[in-house]
Structures are given as C-alpha cells and as structure tokens.
Structure 1
Amino acid sequence: MFQTELIEKCRNNDRRAQLKLYRQYCSAMFCVAKRYLASREDAEDAVQESFIKVFKNLHQYREEVAFGAWLKRIVINHCLDRVKKEKEKLLALEEKYLNAVVEENGSWQVEDSVTPKMVVRAIEQLPESSRYVVMLFLLEGYDHEEIAQIMGITEVNSRTLLFRGKQKLREILREYKVV
C-alpha cells in the first residue's frame, strides 16, 4: 500500500490503516521523544499522545513535506510542551543576553576519538535551556528561525543558547579528555 493511500485511509478513520501507520513510525518517534524527555514512560506517553493528535488533525496534513517530517515536528513540539508544563519557565535568561549578538564559527568538528555516544551523553549534561536548542540544531537539523518558532524564543536567543551550549559541550568533552 502506498503512503498516500494509507494516509487517506487514516483520514477516513480506518483503524487498521491507523495501526499500520502507527507501527511504521512509532519506533522512530519514540527515539525522538526520548531525546527530549527523561523517562521512557514519558517518551512512550508523548508518542501515544502525538499520534492521537495526528489522527485527529490528519486533515491538516498537506503533502508538501514528507509525512515523517510532519509527524516528527508534532512529536518534538509535544515533548517541548510537556517540558514547559513541568517547569514554570524553560528559559530563564537575563535581559542582557536576549539582546546579545552571538557570532558562531559554525564548526561542530571534534576529535576522531569522540564517539556519538559521548556526544549524546555530553548533550544530556547541558543546562535545559541550551540542551534543547543544541538538540534541535545538531540532531534534528533545524535552523534558528525554526528553533525560535518551535521554542517560542527569538532567533537571537536561539543563536545565544546554541553558542553557550556549544561552549559547554566542548568543556564537557574536554573532561572526557578527548577534545
């Protein structure tokens, strides 16, 4: 069955098609949710709740982007909403930093001895405010405009948080004696 046909059946409330679509994407979306939420249970709940939202709003999906990319964005937004609800304020930045202009050299290169596992472990140690921006930028591939929109911050703030996150990431990796 072609993807467009499967999506159309889901739009018509075909439960078998919905289950098939769910099974097709649930593992990948769980991995995405797990990056943002601390516990496995929270990530599983977020995936379930995201799929419920997707099936209710499937009529809004326009095939201008891949379904997986559309779904991924919904899962990420849902996870970030959950984090925001748990914390009174996700980002607690002083006014002076909001207006700071940050220059980036754009380099994310690390020593060959750095493994992806080390980078993920280092990202998990970042402060929440910069962790999510680093994850959206580095792991998900979003640009500052998209990150600002997703997180409800300015592009300048996104750049600032990415800059700080990158600096802290280097410090953490230096502690591993690899950078």
Structure 2
Amino acid sequence: MNAKAAGLELTEPIIHDELVERCKRGDSRGFAELYNKYSKAMYNTSLRIVNHTGDAEDVLQEAFVDAFRSLEDFHHKSTFGAWLKRIVINKSINQLRKRKMDLIDIEKTNVGHLPEEDSLDEKEVQMKVEDIKKAVRLLPNGYRTVLTLYLFEGYDQEEIAEILGVTHATVRTQYMRAKQKLLLYIKQGELS
C-alpha cells in the first residue's frame, strides 16, 4: 500500500465523524452528503436481501429516516456505514418477514438431517459474476437471505440466527441448501 492510500485510510473516519457531527448539529448539507455517500451501497445491500427494487428503495428511505432520527444514539463505536448497514439489513429482513419469508426451523421438524443430494464439483463450475448474481436472485427468499448475509455481508452463522430469530441449525441448513441449489442452477444453466 502506498503512503497516499495509507493517508486516506487514516483520515477517512475523521471525515465521516465530522459529517455525522455536522448532521447532529442540524446541517442539512451534511445530511445530503451522508445520503449521497452511503445510499448506493445501502441500496445494493438491501437489494441482495429483498430481491425487489421497489422494496429495496423503500428500505433505503426508511433506514435513512431512522438513522437521521437516531443520530444522537450513534456514538462512533463503529463507523457510521457499519451502523447504517445494520439498520438496512434489519429493515430488509423485516420487509421479507412481511412477505412471509420461508425459513423452516429444523428443530421444529422431524427431519434429522439433510438428505444426500447429488454432489456437484464446485471446481468444475466456472461462471461470470453476472451469472452468479442471476442464480442468487433465483433462490427462494430464505435461502437467498442466509446466503447473502453470510457470503456478502460477512455475518457468521450465529449472528444470522440471532438476526433472523431462528436456530443456528436452521441457518446452517438454509445455507447448505442455498449453496446446493445455487450450484445446481449454475450447472444446469437455468439463468435466463
């Protein structure tokens, strides 16, 4: 990493903190700057979870309204972006719950374990990024949500279980099934 890049990293949190402080003082330009800085990334985070542009737009607006109303609760224990992302993820999951997302609690069923399905050689499957995105969009809500939170948002399975209000076993099962179904879509070429 060069010195210039290192210097930018060191000053970036200070800039963000100053923006937040300006917003706390009621600076309307600060609100606009924060929105412009984070809206695209937060929209994409929501879209990966809810898989619907209108719902992602609604989540984005609600998340910013809540964040701006709750700025006094933000005490810089994390970055503003991480704090806002948590709001967006929670609102996205709530949006899915409104649509009755299908997450089956494995401990409330009589299923002892997953049936062995045809194993797919992951190394055989070479895809472009767009094909993978298409395949992820085809997944059922529950599978897509767990896969997105785990792979793209960086949450571990215990955190996902807590966020979704299900057991760790359910998250593990949903993730394994999502991965199998994703690989099946890719292998069968069902991406149109």
Q: TM-score, normalised by structure 1?
A: 0.83
- Whether 1:160 and 2:173 are equivalent positions in the alignment is yes
- 1:60 maps onto 2:73 in alignment: yes
Distance 1:97 1:123 in 2: 28
In structure 1, runs of 5+ residues without a counterpart are: 102-107
Unaligned runs of 5+ residues in structure 2 are 1-13, 115-120
Corresponding residue for residue 142 of structure 2: 129
User: In the comparison of the two structures, how many residue pairs are matched?
Assistant: 171
Structure 1 residues 76-129: Cα deviation after superposition (integer angstroms, max 9, x where no partner): 111110111122x5424462378759xxxxxx9544731121111111111222
1:28-177 maps to which residues of 2 (within 5 A)? Answer: 28-87=41-100, 90-93=102-105, 95-96=108-109, 100=113, 110-111=123-124, 113-176=126-189
Distance 1:98 1:58, change over 3 A: farther
Identity across matched positions, percent? 36
Residues 75 and 97 of structure 1: CA distance in aligned 2, closer, same or farther (over 3 Å): farther
Indicate the structure whose relative CO is greater, using CA pairs within 8 Å and at least 6 residues apart: 2
Rate the CA distance shift 1:82–1:126 in 2: closer, same or farther, 3 A: same
Q: Find the counterpart in structure 2 of residue 105 from structure 1.
A: none
Which aligned segments of 4 or more residues in structure 1 are displaced greater than 6 angstroms? none
Q: Distance in 1 between matches of 2:187 and 2:157?
A: 26
Cα pair 1:98 1:156 within 8 Å, conserved: no
Distance 1:29 1:110, change over 3 A: farther
With normalisation by structure 2, the TM-score equals: 0.78
Within 2, Cα distance between the matches of 1:4 and 1:25?
Answer: 14
**Kindly tell me: are residues 162 and 38 of structure 1, through their superposed partners in 2, closer, same or farther at Cα, counting changes over 3 Å?**
closer
CA contact (8 A) 2:103 2:174 kept: no
The one-letter amino acid of 1:96's match is T
Deviation string, structure 1 residues 112-167 (Cα, Å, up to 9, x no partner): 73112111111111122211101111111110121112111111211111111111
1:19 aligns with 2:39: no
CA contact (8 A) 2:105 2:166 kept: no
Q: Is this contact kept in 2: 1:22–1:51, CA < 8 A?
A: yes
Instruction: Report the CA distance shift for 1:70/1:93 in structure 2 as closer, same or farther (over 3 A).
Output: same
Residue equivalent to 1:104: none
Aligned alpha-carbon RMSD (Å):
2.6
